[in-house]
Structure 1
Amino acid sequence: MTGVLAADPTLSDFNQIIWWMVLLKVGVVFVFLLLTTIFMIWFERRVIGRMQNRPGPNRAGPWGLLQPVADALKLPLKEDIVPTKVDKLVFFIAPIIAASTSFVAFAIIPVGPVVSIFHHLTPLQVTDLPVAVLLVLAMSSVGVYGIVLAGWASRGPYSILGALRSTAQVISYEIAMGLSFVAVFLDAGSLSTTAIVSAQEHFWYFWVLAPSFIIYLVTMVGETNRIPFDLPEGEGEIVAGHMTEYSSMKFAMFFLAEYINMTTVSALAVTLFLGGWRAPWPISLWSGANSGWWPVLWFLGKVFFLLFCYVWLRGTLPRTRYDQLMALGWKILIPFSIVWLLLVATVRALREDNHSPVVYAVAGVVLILFVLLITFWDNGYQKHLARIAPEGTAADAEEDEWDYDEDGELVKVERPAVEPRFPVPPLDLPHYHGLELDAAGGLVRGDATGVTKEVTGAGS
């Protein structure tokens, strides 16, 4: 193989690709994602070990490099346990949905420019679409079906809670993620990943559209269910969430899907905000930096830097509470994204009319003022209520809730006897390990012969 051409691919280039070239690209992407997953498992363990002042895996092979290989061989050899009362068809399909969608999303990521492979000119990308970025959102949404179906089919309280949490989290954070994309679409004038990379030839969007970049970084952590947003898999609360009842290869497929999703969203961040496969400064000053196979190296360097940030967050931050997770998505990220999007659209319209750079300065000041407003508004309002609370209640002002009634009088808001919380299945929910409800409503357990006996308690 030789790479000699320095050219940006276009959508028309993908209409000229022969079938065996497509299969070759699919195979390379498949192997790359598998190898990246194996490397990231080792890399994450080693880095977390260093952050916690311990060596990490160092027994299997040099520097512990063979530890992920040992894990990959171990999981298929473990017993594949299937609970008796699960929906077996859905139970088997769920991990396949989660893993397959994670592979498909990487198809629209441009890894490099047009190169020559076996004397055929082709872009280093499986395919591109006029709405390519939306394919990633679609695949991430479909991938959640695998998690939801896994929790539903398992018929266990922990699995169901994990599935519900994952659904709510994806709904909350995909809205903000989609809004962060729109600013890029407005500036690039296209939803094609190839066109977006071409639009960043002179400047990258990570500093031109810095708020969108920050929003995307936060939402991509929430989309992949990683610390500090790994509530669907909170070990201390719901064991392993939707994966609680899975073992052997089915568990490995969920594990694989998580790491591939991390790689995909990191590659998408590189494509949309970090110039894609283009060389960073000062390497870009070299005339051959963006030609041939060199761009693949720059692309991989950016992707692995973002993957390192995932590991860094895991070793630094604790898990957030569920209400904090939802509040961040709905009260901060989404309103901020909407205001920022309106600002970007206004600036672009003014730029089309050839306004001076003063417009951009004014827009930046407006954005900063809005950020300060939403940051200090709630905190200042609560302090105001605590300060003007009736005498004798100052000690309780931080805990009690005060508000104005219809007559303008300050009154204490009565809390309900039981505060609304995240839905929890009842403790007497029949478990799936052979427990059933009889005609009288009692719990009975069936043995291998079909004879049932009364069960005194749900936990017996």
Structure 2
Amino acid sequence: MTSADAVLAQEADLSMFGTDPFWLILLKAVCVFAFLMGTVLISIVMERKVVAWMQLRIGPNRHGPWGMLQSLADGIKLMLKEDIVVKGADKPVYILAPILAVVPAFMAFAVIPFGPADDPVTIFGTETVLQLTDLPVALLYVLATSAIAAYGTVLAGWSSGSTYPLLGGVRATAQIISYEVAMGLSFAAVFLYSGTMSTSGIVGAQADRWFAVLLPISFLIYLVSMVGEAHRAPFDMPESEGDLVGGFNTEYSSIKFAMFMLAEYIHMVTVSALMVTIFLGGWRAPAPISTWWEGANSGWWPILWFVAKLIGVLFVFVWLRGTLPRVRYDQFMMLGWKVLIPVALVWLMLVATVRALQLEGRTLTDIVFWVLGGVLVLLILSFVVDVFRDRADRAREKEGDGNGDEAEFDPMAGGYPVPPLPGQSLPPVPRRPARGPRAEREPASVPAGTEGSGAPADGGTDAPTDDRTSRKEGNDA
């Protein structure tokens, strides 16, 4: 039995999370809530400061030392604003939407471990684990809560009774559904190597090597997917100011708008904490520290390593926002459906093959042989498919040239934002007849007589007169 299998066998029993008294569970829940609120306030100031540094500006510097209280001042200002409800809004759903957006963001953080499950700490004389709770299917719980948050976004756009919020809500829903598929596939590769879906078990399986190193393709797919899930730049199409004014929350103000803003940043913190837990070793200290310091992963020290990694991932969000422009919506959907999902599927098959060969006791040479053989077969199949596809396209083009007709325009060929339903079709698009080459205009002959007289200079044949002169003569007649 390897070290990873031993850890998994130890972490299979999660009964230690049900032994805390009620007051301790409540205290840990309040601490998680306070940690999220404090992290959001700090991350907003950090974002503004880092972007200002990238743009050679100073950033917020008025409220508090170095502008650290600017987020708190903005929150108080939003709460004191007038709460306006538009006339055409569906008021019950309009009020419910911000709650559905912000509550699941808090709930997802309940399964994030801040410390080892087998090394509890003492709080007021009671031993407890530095984690609110854990589940055998903790990552599925995280995916479920993020799916519930999509309801808040789409209901906010629908209940506002306005066009721009509705379009922003539809965009946000399609974006979340599309990128949750790629995110789930990146999780599946982690499940194969860790053997569990509990977050504490996944961190325990990274005792020897982080999954970011062992599964680099899954790590990169999750990195792109989490930015799309959080609606952050350059994937912030649901809130693009250029074409949707403000997106799904355009008609919101005061505390409701503050709740949407809070939900966005909490979601950003949650997906960052999930990346730290799944791919970056969680609460474990980095290798240079853990090798020479035995107590680095015990006591209260794991919280320090977790927060340091979390700040590093949050900096990536800010860095992307300050350096990359917003991509086009169809390009973003094409990236999810035509790049990330196919790559994730192929990578998952490769990981499953390698894992199965490892469990059968195959040597490294056999594994490399089978993997290279599978890659070679996939390359040959893709080449054959491309050849036949090119032949079909050329035959179609020749057939169209022979008939002299243009290919019929299919507005749903790309399938954006979602593939068309079976039997769904659109009316034919009217097209103007194709024009031939534009005929060159002959130079107009201009009489060389006295300016404005309209008479020929040499008394020869009459020259064509100006339109204005013709109209004037007609009026005189």
- Does 2:329 match 1:339? no
Give the Å deviation of 1:414: 2.6
Give the Å deviation of 1:361: 3.7
Instruction: Give 1:146's match in structure 2, choosing from 146, 152, 158.
Output: 152
- Does 2:102 match 1:99? yes
**Secondary structure at 2:297 match in 1:** coil
Unaligned runs of 5+ in 2: 1-9, 418-477
Q: Deviations over 1:28-64 (max 9, x none)?
A: 0001101111001100000000111111111222211
In structure 1, C-alpha distance between the alignment counterparts of 2:219 and 2:250, rounded to whole Å: 34
RMSD (Å) for aligned C-alpha atoms: 2.8
Instruction: Give 1:26's match in structure 2, choosing from 25, 29, 37.
Output: 29
Q: Deviations over 1:274-326 (max 9, x none)?
A: 11101001001110010000010000111110000000000111101011011
- Does 2:111 match 1:118? no
> Which letter does structure 2 place at the counterpart of 1:323?
D
Q: Counterpart in 2 of 1:52?
A: 55
In structure 1, C-alpha distance between the alignment counterparts of 2:121 and 2:367, rounded to whole Å: 38
Q: Deviations over 1:58-112 (max 9, x none)?
A: 1222211121111011000111110011000000000001000100000000011
In structure 1, C-alpha distance between the alignment counterparts of 2:266 and 2:210, rounded to whole Å: 25
Give the Å deviation of 1:244: 0.3
Worse-superposed segment, 50-59 or 362-371: 362-371
In structure 2, C-alpha distance between the alignment counterparts of 1:280 and 1:375, rounded to whole Å: 41
**Secondary structure at 1:266 match in 2:** helix
- C-alpha contact 2:400 2:407 (8 A) present in aligned 1: no
Instruction: Give 2:394's match in structure 1, choosing from 391, 401, 404.
Output: 404
Unaligned runs of 5+ in 1: 1-7, 389-401, 424-460
> Which letter does structure 2 place at the counterpart of 1:16?
T
In structure 2, C-alpha distance between the alignment counterparts of 1:230 and 1:312, rounded to whole Å: 14
**Secondary structure at 2:295 match in 1:** coil
In structure 1, C-alpha distance between the alignment counterparts of 2:321 and 2:299, rounded to whole Å: 36
In structure 2, C-alpha distance between the alignment counterparts of 1:317 and 1:374, rounded to whole Å: 36
In structure 2, C-alpha distance between the alignment counterparts of 1:221 and 1:366, rounded to whole Å: 34
In structure 2, relative to structure 1, the CA distance for the partners of 1:128 and 1:48 (3 Å cut) is same
In structure 2, relative to structure 1, the CA distance for the partners of 1:370 and 1:100 (3 Å cut) is farther
> Which letter does structure 2 place at the counterpart of 1:404?
R
**Secondary structure at 2:129 match in 1:** strand
**Secondary structure at 1:89 match in 2:** helix
- C-alpha contact 2:236 2:326 (8 A) present in aligned 1: yes
> Which letter does structure 2 place at the counterpart of 1:403?
D
- Does 2:243 match 1:237? yes
> Which letter does structure 2 place at the counterpart of 1:200?
Q
Give the Å deviation of 1:403: 2.7
Alignment of 1:73-112 (within 5 A): 73-112=76-115
In structure 2, relative to structure 1, the CA distance for the partners of 1:38 and 1:325 (3 Å cut) is same
TM-score (norm 2): 0.78
In structure 2, relative to structure 1, the CA distance for the partners of 1:413 and 1:225 (3 Å cut) is farther
Alignment of 1:192-203 (within 5 A): 192-203=198-209
Instruction: Give 2:359's match in structure 1, choosing from 348, 352, 357.
Output: 352
Bigger Cα Rg: 2
- C-alpha contact 1:197 1:276 (8 A) present in aligned 2: yes
- C-alpha contact 1:403 1:413 (8 A) present in aligned 2: no
> Which letter does structure 1 place at the counterpart of 2:85?
V
Worse-superposed segment, 228-237 or 369-378: 369-378
Q: Counterpart in 2 of 1:313?
A: 320
Give the Å deviation of 1:119: 1.9
Instruction: Give 2:176's match in structure 1, choosing from 170, 177, 202.
Output: 170
In structure 2, relative to structure 1, the CA distance for the partners of 1:351 and 1:370 (3 Å cut) is same
- Does 2:57 match 1:67? no
Worse-superposed segment, 407-416 or 251-260: 407-416
Q: Counterpart in 2 of 1:267?
A: 273
**Secondary structure at 1:289 match in 2:** helix
TM-score (norm 1): 0.81
In structure 1, C-alpha distance between the alignment counterparts of 2:80 and 2:378, rounded to whole Å: 53
Once the two structures are aligned, what percentage of the paired residues are identical?
Answer: 54
Higher strand share: 1
